[in-house]
């Protein structure tokens, strides 16, 4: 999983939740960092915060959709303001509900390592 | 003597104030003419003959009615004018009956003029004969006489003779009782040398009735004075009104400023609350999830688990309050609560909340009944909030020993969620305001999980779905909240 979140504590918490769900988390603090990661990594799911410095979530999603190599990677927008998410983008409402995140991981994980805690 | 105040009593200045009275719009002297003093010898100066006819008519008509004896010594033209005026008052009959006697002025003059001056003896004799003739059969009757022999003499240039004749009439007044009306055309006195004699004429009369233009002038003067006063009062009123208008404008400006300030303050406060809510809940979420992870990973010593659970429970309460504040802000500032509706069954949502409530409030009985087709176009999270807030409210305010009854029923057009609890009914005064923000009834003892926004938010969510919430409360039926949400479309089969 790739977690794109500018707030360090929240980012770290997300990493732990992902790991508790049986997956590995790679972290990025903004859209630019995320694109750098994606140059060499194909995560099963990208969790994207909307409001971030340098490159925000909306721009990152536009980039993902624009680049054919990235367009197929599932992503979910983590936001407390779902109405601000780009049209058609799936939303994981903040505050993050652990079970909801694990649900997303379970649905998108290709390596089937996710979900032992969901049973 | 009459106390008439609308004629000038002589001797006095013709411009004296007593010649006028407040509000006089008519030729002054009319009241005096209607009831002249007996004896009196008054003079009317006139400009137009029609005015003279009118004044003589004013003098004679009341006399005719009162049965007075009337005598006219005038020119033919003036006699005709008087009779025309008096026609409707029975003058012809009066002439025939002898009540009114008409004599020619020049002919009468000729009876006592000697060498261009009136002869006193002849005058006395003529007057005595006339009065005797006119009052024959009516010795006690009043006599009203009109004469213009003096005017004829003056017109003929015999002003001394005219003055002398006036004096003789005054002498006659010592012997006979009459009201004598003399008249002069005022033009007589515009002739060179005659102006100074005007006062000699006045001095020989008991009362003077000024010309119509004098009366009009006095009336006009009064009117001008009156209008000047009115104008000044109007200016004062306008000044006052301008001041009042300025004060009003100032008040309006202040009110607008105050309103703008208040609106800005409200907007700032609500934006502040909204931003604070967003900024607070993310770190709070991090704290809560970290706490949960600690427990899940068994990273807490056994005796510390209770403390971490307390941290999480308090954090959850705080989270709920923040969510309510955010919803309040959305409802009041951001154009209302937004709902993302999908067509789904409302039953599992309500069942889940009922189940959670039973777990959270062990010992409280919560019944749940579902009827009919409960599929509707709803925002699941928001509908869950309605159910959670209404059921939570019933738990908080209902009797602990009585069940909370939850019923979900589907009709043709809407689904209805009904939540009933027993216990003290809601105060009748509070009921109309029950959905206002922070409108809390009496709070039961113990901790509160909200800010008094639960019902407000539930109602706003129902409204955002195109529905609403009704409430009724009584001792017999308890308190019932009924949320009605339109289905909007039929379920796909």
pLDDT one-digit tens code per residue, B154-172: 999 899 999 999 999 999 9
Do residues B89 and B64 make contact, with C-beta atoms less than 8 angstroms apart?
yes
Read off φ and ψ for residue B291, nearest 5 degrees: -60, -45
Sort strands B342-345 and B100-104 into parallel, antiparallel or unpaired. Answer: unpaired
Any idea how long chain B is? 493
Mean pLDDT of chain A: 86
With residue B377 as reference, give the H or E element that holds it: strand B375-378
Least confident interval from B79-93, B173-187, B328-342 = B328-342
Per DSSP, the three-state class of B281 is: helix
Q: Between A and B, how many CB-CB pairs are < 8 A?
A: 44
Contacts of B317 in chain A (CB under 8 A): none
More confident residue, B392 or A87: B392
More confident residue, B155 or B26: B155
pLDDT tens-digit profile of B228-238? 899 899 999 99
List residues in chain B touching A: CB distance below 8 A. 278, 281-286, 288-290, 292-293, 296-297, 319, 338, 340, 381
As assigned by CATH, the class of the B220-332 domain is mainly alpha
CB contact under 8 A, B278 and A96: no
Find the domain containing A83 and state its range.
Answer: 2-118
pLDDT on residue B167: 94
Does the pLDDT of residue A31 top 70, yes or no?
Answer: yes
- What is the rounded CA–CA span in Å between residue B79 and residue B75? 6
More confident residue, B110 or B217: B110
Q: What residue has token string 């060499």? A: A40
Alpha helices by DSSP H, A3-55: 8-20, 31-38
* CATH level 3 topology of B342-486: Heat Shock Protein 90 (3.30.565)
Does the pLDDT of residue B470 top 80, yes or no?
Answer: yes
pLDDT on residue B438: 72
Does the pLDDT of residue B270 top 80, yes or no?
Answer: no
CB contact under 8 A, B285 and A94: yes
Domain ranges of chain B: 8-210, 220-332, 342-486
Proportion of chain B above pLDDT 70, given as a percent:
88
pLDDT on residue B321: 81
- Across residues B407-430, what is the average pLDDT? 91
CA neighbor of B337 nearest in space, from B349, B348, B351, B326: B326
Do residues B18 and B9 make contact, with C-beta atoms less than 8 angstroms apart?
yes
Residue of B nearest to A9 (CA): B286
With residue B184 as reference, give the H or E element that holds it: strand B179-185
Contacts of A93 in chain B (CB under 8 A): 381
Contacts of A20 in chain B (CB under 8 A): 293, 296-297
The single-letter DSSP state of residue B372 is S
Do residues B218 and B202 make contact, with C-beta atoms less than 8 angstroms apart?
no
The single-letter DSSP state of residue B425 is P
More confident residue, B14 or B48: B48
pLDDT tens-digit profile of B247-259? 999 999 999 999 9
pLDDT tens-digit profile of B429-462? 888 888 887 766 555 544 455 567 889 889 989 9
pLDDT tens-digit profile of B383-409? 998 999 999 999 988 998 999 999 999
pLDDT on residue B23: 34
Do residues B129 and B1 make contact, with C-beta atoms less than 8 angstroms apart?
no
CB contact under 8 A, B282 and A95: yes
pLDDT tens-digit profile of B97-125? 999 999 999 999 999 999 999 999 999 99
CATH number for A87: 3.40.50.2300
Long-range pairs, B473-476, Cβ under 8 A, ≥24: B473/B425, B473/B426, B473/B431, B474/B425, B475/B425
CA neighbor of A16 nearest in space, from B309, B284, B281, B296: B296
At B348, list the tokens: 């599992």
pLDDT on residue B146: 96
Among B284, B286, B293, beta carbon nearest to A20: B293
pLDDT on residue B180: 95
Chain B interface disruption, residue of A7, A80, A88, A93, most B CBs within 10 A: A80
Contacts of B390 (CB under 8 A, 6+ apart): B417, B419, B455, B458, B469, B481, B483
> Number of structural domains, chain A?
1
* CATH level 3 topology of B8-210: Rossmann fold (3.40.50)
Proportion of chain B above pLDDT 90, given as a percent:
42
Q: How far is A40 from chain B (nearest CA, A)?
A: 29
pLDDT on residue B257: 92
Q: What residue has token string 């010309």? A: B211
More confident residue, B20 or B242: B242
Q: What residue has token string 């213009």? A: B148
More confident residue, B209 or B134: B134
Confidence (pTM): 0.46
pLDDT on residue B440: 60
Question: Would you call B310 exposed, middle or buried from its count of C-beta atoms within 10 A (0-12, 13-18, 19+)?
Answer: exposed
């Amino acid at each position: 999983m790739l977690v794109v979140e500018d707030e360090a504590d929240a980012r770290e918490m997300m990493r732990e939740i992902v790991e508790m769900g049986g997956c590995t988390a790679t972290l990025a603090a903004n859209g630019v960092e995320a694109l750098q990661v994606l140059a060499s990594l194909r995560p099963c799911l990208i969790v994207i915060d909307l409001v971030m410095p340098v490159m925000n979530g909306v721009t990152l999603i536009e980039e993902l959709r624009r680049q054919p190599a990235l367009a197929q990677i599932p992503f979910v927008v983590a936001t407390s303001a779902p109405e601000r998410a780009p049209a058609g983008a799936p939303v994981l409402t903040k505050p993050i509900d652990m079970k909801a995140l694990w649900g997303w991981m379970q649905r998108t994980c290709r390596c089937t390592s996710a979900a032992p805690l969901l049973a | 003597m009459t106390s008439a105040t609308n004629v000038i009593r002589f001797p006095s200045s013709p411009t004296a104030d007593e010649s006028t009275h407040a509000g006089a719009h008519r030729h002054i002297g009319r009241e005096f003419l209607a009831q002249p003093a007996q004896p009196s010898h008054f003079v009317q100066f006139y400009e137009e003959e029609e005015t003279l006819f009118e004044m003589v008519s004013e003098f004679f008509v009341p006399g005719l009615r009162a049965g007075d004896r009337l005598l006219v010594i005038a020119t033919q033209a003036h006699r005709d004018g008087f009779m025309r005026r008096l026609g409707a008052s029975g003058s012809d009959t009066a002439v025939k009956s002898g009540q009114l006697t008409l004599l020619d002025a020049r002919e009468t003059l000729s009876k006592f003029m000697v060498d261009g001056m009136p002869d006193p003896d002849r005058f006395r004799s003529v007057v005595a004969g006339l009065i005797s003739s006119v009052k024959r059969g009516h010795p006690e009757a009043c006599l009203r006489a009109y004469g213009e022999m003096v005017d004829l003499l003056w017109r003929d240039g015999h002003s001394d003779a005219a003055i002398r004749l006036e004096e003789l009439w005054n002498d006659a007044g010592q012997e006979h009782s009459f009201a004598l009306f003399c008249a002069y055309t005022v033009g007589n006195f515009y002739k060179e040398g005659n102006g100074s004699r005007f006062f000699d004429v006045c001095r020989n009369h008991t009362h003077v009735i000024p010309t119509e233009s004098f009366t009009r002038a006095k009336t006009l003067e009064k009117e001008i004075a009156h209008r000047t006063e009115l104008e000044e009062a109007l200016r004062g009123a306008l000044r006052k009104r301008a001041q009042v208008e300025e004060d009003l404008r100032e008040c309006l400006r202040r009110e607008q400023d105050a309103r703008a300030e208040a609106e800005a303050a409200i907007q700032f406060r609500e934006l502040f609350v909204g931003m604070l809510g967003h900024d607070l809940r993310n770190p709070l979420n991090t704290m809560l999830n970290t706490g949960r992870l600690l427990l899940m990973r068994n990273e807490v010593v056994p005796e510390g688990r209770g403390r971490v659970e307390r941290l999480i429970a308090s954090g959850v309460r705080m989270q709920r309050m923040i969510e309510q504040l955010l919803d309040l802000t959305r409802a009041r500032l951001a154009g209302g609560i937004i709902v993302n509706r999908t067509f789904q069954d409302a039953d599992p949502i309500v069942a889940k909340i009922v189940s959670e409530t039973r777990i959270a409030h062990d010992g409280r009985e919560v019944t749940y009944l579902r009827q009919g087709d409960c599929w509707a176009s709803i925002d699941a999270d928001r509908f869950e909030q309605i159910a959670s807030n209404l059921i939570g409210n019933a738990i908080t305010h209902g009797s602990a020993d009585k069940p909370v009854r939850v019923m979900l029923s589907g009709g043709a057009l809407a689904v209805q969620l009904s939540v009933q609890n027993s216990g003290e009914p809601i105060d009748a005064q509070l009921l109309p305001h029950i959905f206002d923000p922070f409108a809390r009834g009496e709070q039961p003892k113990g901790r509160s999980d909200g800010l008094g926004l639960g019902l407000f938010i539930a109602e706003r969510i129902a409204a955002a779905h195109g529905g609403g919430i009704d409430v009724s409360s009584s001792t017999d039926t308890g308190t019932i909240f009924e949320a009605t949400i339109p289905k909007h479309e039929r379920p796909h089969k």
